[in-house]
Structure 1
Amino acid sequence: LIITAWRKNNTLRANTSNMEFMAPVDFKEDDSFTNDDVYNKRSLVDGHNWMELSEGIAITPTRLSISNAVRKPLKEVDNDHIHWNSMPNILRMPCSIDDEFDDYGIVTTVDLSMIRNAAANALDALIHKKKNAASTVTKENCLRYLECKAQNYAWGKIGSDALVARLKKDGCDNFTIDEEKPYAELWLGTHPNGMSTIIVPSKESDQVNSKIPLVDYVQTNPYLHLGVEGVTSPSQDYDLTFLFKVLSIKKVLSIQAHPDKLLAAQLHTDHPEIYKDPNHKPEMAVALTDDFEAMSGFRPIHEIAQHLREYPELSIVVGTTARNQISEAAKAHLHHQPKAVLQRIFVAYMDADHSLMQCQLENLNKRLLEKKESENFTDLDELIIKLANQFPGDSGIFAPLLFNHMKLKTGEAFYIGANEPHAYIQGDILECMACSDNVVRAGLTPKVKDVETLVKMLTYKCTIPEITRGQQVNDHCRLYIPPVRDFAIEMIEVPSGGSYEVKHVRSPSLLLVLNGSGTFLQGNVQSLTVNAGKTLFMSANTNAIVTANNESNLKVVRALTNVF
């Protein structure tokens, strides 16, 4: 079996010399395959037909096992061109560029939980080796300034109090802050709800610079700008896999969750006016201030049972049956399989009679205000009163009794997976996510609520979110890696007068200067001066030297596809 991969019209293609090219039935299901591909053994390529490598591929020759050892294939023997060692599942693939045999690429397979498009990765490795793509910066793929959109949602901080507004003003010469307006989010990316634009300098000194939507810019040459990770992404259109934001939070955000891929596609089909895209939206939040607070995930069963005893108003709302079930589960130490119990109590809470809910919210607010001056007044009590002041009469006021309440310091982060309930409460944060704007809401919001979908989609896991400070890569760089492929975050700090190489990766990058000033240099091709608020697009497989001015440290944050 010979697999040859190459580029043609900016599309990765592969050809197989045998008649069957399919996923073996004993492979485990993962994101790289559809159920049909895996379990029904549908052929991915027939005969000598071409296949666009838009998803993961697996190779099943007639024989189940070719070799017990991975060794360099013999060029003159076709059947020896691929050697598969099931432990630890290493696949060595011949590949070529421009129809000429060059070398072998090595990829890992299913034991690492993902088949990373074997032919495409082999080709990528070869291009790095043969053409030294990492150091190749031209006028076509050099760094470019971005202009990014600020979103004025009602929960944002007002005027200059918002980091979003200050960054927007500092990074954009013609932007003026409206001191009466909320500034909630600054978007960096290609999502149509907040598309960034590339600033392309005019060739003539007397002409105005042109602005191009970022998605149009990367699609002029997807392989050059996106690299293999982007060209072979599951997206039907060549696009960034991630969306990057800064949030300035004055009022609590809605109780919400983000759908997985299957649900997102269905919601987009059924209600495109609400759910604007078919993608999932896992995300990671990184605190930029020491006062960041959030709710995320269900509390442990015993904590919820305790809150039902301590806050009788919620106990009345959910009713006797749900209250007794959660109490029995807590006594039985039911920590590992609480889904059914959690779902019952959450549904009872969401479906509670409106007049009953309003009565108990009034009772709760009155009782906590009377308790405020006592020694028994807790942080949880304070949060409930805060929510009641922001959204009087909203059922979401009870949410802190069910969800984990988190407080993060600057540089701390946590990950939010698909179908997990959460709500940000206050603070300034970075947020990176899969490229989507799908939100299913159920409370603490004037926006459209979809309670029916939310109660069905949640995982109902009792999980205390892990708070991380990322991995310290070196003296200047800290890396935040989520458990998904869509995105990762680098936090880079260069001391005053110092320099640091922003290294090449197989992914495009979005760069935001948080504070300080300096220069990004790409040899004799590109030099861009930056200050707080400046945003840049960096094509795949390119690097840059960033130098901080002498006045202060330069802090830059980088969003990219998770290639780590």
Structure 2
Amino acid sequence: MDRLSNTVRPYAWGSTTAIPELLGIAPTGEPQAEMWMGAHPGAPSRATREAAEQSLSELIAADPAGELGPAAVEKFGPRLPFLLKILAAGAPLSLQVHPNLAQAKEGYAAEESAGVPIDAPHRNYKDANHKPELICALTPFDGLCGFRTPLEAADLLAGLDVDSLKPYVDLLHAHPEEAALREVLTAVLTADPDEMAATVAEAAAAAERLGGAYTPYASIAHHYPGDPGVIAAMLLNYVQLQPGEALFLGAGVPHAYLNGLGVEIMANSDNVLRCGLTPKHVDVPELLRIVRFEASDPGVLRPESSPSDEEVYDTPIDEFRLSRYVLAPDAEPRDLTAPTPQILLCTAGGVTVGDLTLTPGESAFVPAGDKTEISGTGGGAGTVFRATVVA
């Protein structure tokens, strides 16, 4: 097994304190948004093996079957199919959706054929893969996930008592669910920018005055004044996760993370369609093509315990499997040996992984088939997240 050195991405929405506090280091004063663990070409981890650091992506490329196991290579190809992150949101992330696998392949091929450079700011599809993802809260964590019912959205908008929002309220009342959500989101995102900015300003002032259920939207508007995404956000379910709770986000589900620290895992992709709350590229027509216009319960996940004390977050895809061990001080070592690749991440206390000791924020890569046991460090308590695949 190999200790990992990981890159922290300094996106503007990142918290300045959450990741440093987890790692037990002094903040730099700059935002620290995501720490990536895996072999994504954008920021591959470096693995310490035989006293030397090597890129994890290069290690896997040199011996895919040995590092990933034959079953994983046969099912997913010669690459690590997931990316694990620590995500620290100090401000709202972009309002976004991810394509399904067929849409990703189609979009990637179209942009390749059109000669759009892979690093072009206006490129939507950076790869041909889908990006289902799971976020598990380490602290109280706020987000938006999936559409409210049209009637719930209508009530929320009507409560602001803003004249320019009343046509949207009428649409939400007048049409079947899919048509109502499609028409209102389309109208919000394609409205005259100056008129929408004025509407957002009125709505933000009303939300600030009313407080309560409107407080999150006042906060969003504070970060993104005049952005149509503020109104679009009111069409979505507002979710507050407690530590240990999680959300699974499938293709076509609109979502945004607002605040908090969490462990995130996803298929190894960077395909994102944005519609607001961001200075990055926004492609409204393509997003409207990808979004699933259906109301849904956000479906807060809680881990399911197994006889081995592994707490599993059940999801409907195979590219990743996330679980957690909360180790008591006197717990027996747990055998984690598996025929698939693993990344183990300590988030509290301390854990011993084979001959490595991990403290909060530290991680290790375990090649397929390597004998692996975990226990609390020196008999102490510890929490470790286990990321692997279903192969």
How far the C-alpha of 1:324 sits from its partner, in A, is 3.5
Residue 368 in structure 1 maps to residue 244 in structure 2: no
8 Å contact from structure 1 (residues 254, 445) kept in 2: yes
Counterpart of 1:382? 215
How far the C-alpha of 1:265 sits from its partner, in A, is 2.4
Counterpart of 1:292? 141
Secondary structure of residue in 1 paired with 2:42: helix
Distance 2:292 2:204 in 1: 30
Counterpart of 2:359? 531
Distance 2:205 2:302 in 1: 39
Residue 255 in structure 1 maps to residue 89 in structure 2: no
Counterpart of 1:93? none
How far the C-alpha of 1:178 sits from its partner, in A, is 4.8
Distance 2:270 2:20 in 1: 21
How far the C-alpha of 1:306 sits from its partner, in A, is 1.9
Counterpart of 1:517? 350
Counterpart of 1:307? 156
Counterpart of 2:304? 471
Q: 2:235 aligns with which of 393, 396, 402?
A: 402
Paired residues, number: 381
1:110-129 matches, within 5 Å, as none
Distance 1:445 1:240 in 2: 29
Residue 144 in structure 1 maps to residue 10 in structure 2: no
How far the C-alpha of 1:285 sits from its partner, in A, is 0.8
- What whole-Å deviation, never above 9, does each CA across 1:244-271 have from its counterpart, x for those lacking one? 0111111000001111122222333414
Secondary structure of residue in 2 paired with 1:192: coil
Counterpart of 2:57? 215
Secondary structure of residue in 1 paired with 2:370: coil
Distance 2:205 2:301 in 1: 38
How far the C-alpha of 1:279 sits from its partner, in A, is 1.0
- What whole-Å deviation, never above 9, does each CA across 1:121-169 have from its counterpart, x for those lacking one? xxxxxxxxxxxxxxxxxxxxxx1111111111011111xx22x2345x5
8 Å contact from structure 2 (residues 87, 264) kept in 1: yes
Residue 423 in structure 1 maps to residue 256 in structure 2: yes
Distance 1:234 1:497 in 2: 38
- Letter in structure 2 aligned against 1:245: K
1:59-208 matches, within 5 Å, as 143-158=1-16, 161-162=17-18, 164-167=19-22, 169=23, 177-201=26-50
Greater displacement, 280-289 / 440-449: 440-449
8 Å contact from structure 1 (residues 497, 547) kept in 2: no
Distance 2:353 2:198 in 1: 59
- Letter in structure 2 aligned against 1:191: H
Distance 1:180 1:328 in 2: 50
8 Å contact from structure 1 (residues 481, 562) kept in 2: no
How far the C-alpha of 1:535 sits from its partner, in A, is 1.0
Distance 1:166 1:307 in 2: 36
Distance 1:410 1:181 in 2: 25
Distance 2:268 2:174 in 1: 42
8 Å contact from structure 1 (residues 501, 543) kept in 2: no
How far the C-alpha of 1:366 sits from its partner, in A, is 2.9
Distance 1:393 1:562 in 2: 44
Counterpart of 2:186? 347
How far the C-alpha of 1:212 sits from its partner, in A, is 1.4
- Letter in structure 2 aligned against 1:503: L
8 Å contact from structure 1 (residues 497, 549) kept in 2: no
Secondary structure of residue in 2 paired with 1:183: coil
Distance 2:206 2:14 in 1: 30
Secondary structure of residue in 1 paired with 2:288: helix
8 Å contact from structure 1 (residues 488, 561) kept in 2: yes
Residue 316 in structure 1 maps to residue 164 in structure 2: yes
Secondary structure of residue in 1 paired with 2:316: coil
8 Å contact from structure 2 (residues 308, 334) kept in 1: no
8 Å contact from structure 1 (residues 507, 540) kept in 2: yes
1:323–1:494 Cα change, 3 Å: closer
Identity of aligned residues (%): 28
How far the C-alpha of 1:351 sits from its partner, in A, is 0.5
Distance 2:232 2:253 in 1: 14
Counterpart of 1:327? 173
Q: Structure 2-normalised TM-score?
A: 0.91
1:475–1:503 Cα change, 3 Å: closer
Runs of 4+ with >6 A deviation: none
1:312–1:562 Cα change, 3 Å: farther
8 Å contact from structure 2 (residues 160, 207) kept in 1: no
Counterpart of 1:436? 269
Distance 1:328 1:492 in 2: 49
Alignment RMSD (CA, Å): 2.0
Secondary structure of residue in 2 paired with 1:193: coil
Secondary structure of residue in 1 paired with 2:75: coil
- Letter in structure 1 aligned against 2:131: K
Distance 2:156 2:352 in 1: 54
1:410–1:518 Cα change, 3 Å: closer
How far the C-alpha of 1:517 sits from its partner, in A, is 2.4
How far the C-alpha of 1:475 sits from its partner, in A, is 6.2
Counterpart of 1:503? 336
Q: Structure 1-normalised TM-score?
A: 0.64
Counterpart of 2:287? 454
Distance 1:481 1:502 in 2: 20
1:346–1:399 Cα change, 3 Å: closer
Return the index of the structure with the highest Cα Rg.
1
8 Å contact from structure 1 (residues 516, 555) kept in 2: yes
Q: Which has the higher contact order (CA 8 A, sep 6+)?
A: 2
1:385–1:437 Cα change, 3 Å: same
- What whole-Å deviation, never above 9, does each CA across 1:385-437 have from its counterpart, x for those lacking one? 11111111111111332000001101111110011100001011111110111
